[in-house]
Structure 1
Amino acid sequence: MSGHYHRIQRLFTVFGFLVLAFSIWEFFQGVYPQSQGLMFIAQAILGILLIFVPEYSKKLLKVQLPNATVYFYWFFLLISVFMGTILHLIEIVSFWDKILHAVSPMVLTAVGYGLICMLLKNTPVKQVSPWLFLLMGFAFAGLCGIFWEFWEFICDSIGGMNLQRYATLEGTPFIGRDALMDTMGDLFTNTIGAALMGVIAYVQGRGNPDYFESYRIQKINHK
């Protein structure tokens, strides 16, 4: 990995620890209830660990993600875990959640392209129709979005966390279509994000039969 890669990783890590310090300060200041404050601290620590997921995947799973995909993934961590949750922008900016639901499928679409490249093994990318990549990336991001809504449903069912916004902040349940608006809005935004990434890839890949090679997830074989 390049020195540029590690400099960005260190920058993200330093920012993560600063955000962790902020959440610890909030905890001792009693800004939030104790249980919620501890949850913020735990999520900050988890966010720092998630920065190193690409390296864990390389060492444990023997797969290496392209740097561009890793940078996009780090950007999503920045706006979701650190800025959205710990710095509370998701509470301050009403549409922040929708931004996250638009960006995450773009990252997942790129991962979908990389998975196709890896599964093709030694088959030259230029011999494969670009529509296979476009459809695979779109479908992969859409499926992950559905699984995320499943996860939110489970958390709401077990922990009453109201992640799918089926009730008001005071706990009053929404009725009819109002109860579906958040979930359907998330799925709709997820679809738009995946489609937008597909359009970007289509435009950038026109006239370049090897374009999707840049997304390849490489399997590391140690002899």
Structure 2
Amino acid sequence: MRSILGIILFVSLVLSAIYTAVRLIFAPSASEAGEFDMQRSDYTLMLLQCILGIVVMLLPSLIERKWAVPIPSFIYILYYVFLYCAVFLGEVFNFYYRFAHWDTVLHAFSGAMLGALGFILVSLLNDAEKIHVQLSPFFVALFAFCFALAMGAVWEIYEYICDTLMQLNMQKYMSEAGEVFVGQAALQDTMADIICDALAALGVAVFGYLSLRRQQNVRKQPEAPQDGEMPAQA
């Protein structure tokens, strides 16, 4: 399943990058484009996202090989599904504008996924023989929440840099028709994204905390004596 999804994602992004590069050559500039025509800036953003998608989809396997960090298959599957929905469907097929809450759903999805990844990273540290610190369930959950929220903030910084340097609209500070928003309206997309990241990560953190506490309580329970054995005296 993981390999099949990886192949589908890779082929989709490569073909999309080629298509976008060709369209970029013949796309009209902002002054030449009609009201509903896609401009060069639109294809530039699409091409940038496709190339970035190809690069970041390879990161987990590189990390796994270089640092011997075992990443569960379900994280790979969630990661590939997220990239497919965010880049291929979101940018290439313009789902961000076709569906009002597409971006919100993806940020909630990524917040939950990164929260789960945060739990996995701490579990690896707790199981490492060279590290003699065992984090409590509360601090494991806190790290997972902060990790997911930090990654969401890094993504918003990336969007801001791209918008500033390349005159794009990744942070949706203007409408599809080019109308620039003012005041809170200009911040709405960014803050909504961060809040969605936080809520999804919080949900995963609470669920993970309760699961770890339950596992901890099970370990503390004394083992039942086997047949023929006397229970231990206090």
From the superposition, tell whether residues 149 and 193 of structure 1 become closer, same or farther in structure 2 (CA, over 3 Å).
same
Alignment length (residue pairs): 204
Write the letter of the residue equivalent to 2:155. Answer: W
**RCO comparison, higher one (Cα < 8 Å, 6+):** 1
Are 1:87 and 2:93 counterparts?
Answer: yes
1:162 partner letter = N
- Aligned counterpart, 1:106: 112
- Specify whether residues 201 and 185 from structure 1 end up closer, same or farther in structure 2 by C-alpha distance, changes over 3 A only: same
Given that 1:16 and 1:82 are in contact with CA atoms closer than 8 Å, whether structure 2 keeps it comes out as no
Determine whether 1:66 maps to 2:72: yes
Unaligned runs of 5+ in 1: 1-6, 212-223
Percent of residue pairs identical = 29
Provide the C-alpha distance between the structure 1 equivalents of 2:52 and 2:161, rounded to a whole number of angstroms.
20
Q: 1:58 to 1:137 in 2, by over 3 A?
A: same
Query: What is the aligned partner in structure 2 of residue 179 from structure 1?
Result: 186
Shift in alpha-carbon separation, 1:25–1:74, aligned structure 2, 3 A: closer
Q: Aligned Cα RMSD in Å?
A: 3.2
1:96 aligns with 2:90: no
Match of 2:207?
200
Per the TM alignment, residue 96 of structure 1 is displaced from its structure 2 partner at its CA by 0.4
SS of 2:112's equivalent in the other structure is helix
SS in 2 for 1:207: helix
Check whether the contact 1:19–1:86 (CA below 8 A) recurs between aligned residues: no
**Offset at residue 102 of structure 1 (A):** 0.7
Whole-angstrom CA distance in 1 between matches of 2:154 and 2:16: 32
> CA offset at residue 158 of structure 1?
1.5
Q: Deviations over 1:129-182 (max 9, x none)?
A: 211111110111111222222222222221221222222333333222222211
What is the Cα deviation at residue 73 of structure 1?
1.5
CA contact (8 A) 2:10 2:54 kept: yes
CA distance in 2, matches of 1:25, 1:157: 25
Deviation by residue 1:71-119 (Cα, 9 ceiling, x = unmatched): 2222212221222222322221111011111111112112221222233
Aligned equivalent of 1:167, options 174, 177, 181: 174
Q: What does 1:16-95 align with in structure 2 at a 5 Å threshold?
A: 16-18=10-12, 20-21=14-15, 24=18, 32-33=38-39, 36-37=42-43, 40=46, 43-44=49-50, 46-95=52-101
Structure 2 stretches lacking a partner, 5+ long: 28-36, 219-234
Label 1:113 to 1:83 Cα distance change in 2 as closer, same or farther (>3 A): same
Name 1:221's counterpart in structure 2: none
The amino acid that maps onto 1:166 is Y
Report the residue type matching 2:186 in the other structure.
A
Q: Is the CA contact 1:165–1:182 (under 8 Å) kept in the aligned structure 2? A: yes
**Cα displacement (A) at 1:55:** 1.8
Larger deviation: 129-138 or 56-65? 56-65
Counterpart in the other structure of 2:163: 156
Query: What's 2:139 paired with?
Result: 132
Indicate the structure (1 or 2) with the bigger Cα radius of gyration: 2
> In 2, distance between residues paired with 1:182 and 1:174?
11
Q: Quick one: which amino acid aligns to residue 63 of structure 1?
A: V
Q: Residue 119 of structure 1 corresponds to which residue in structure 2?
A: 125
Mapped to 1, the partners of 2:71 and 2:132 lie a distance apart of 18
Q: 1:32 to 1:165 in 2, by over 3 A?
A: closer
TM-score, normalized by length of structure 2? 0.71
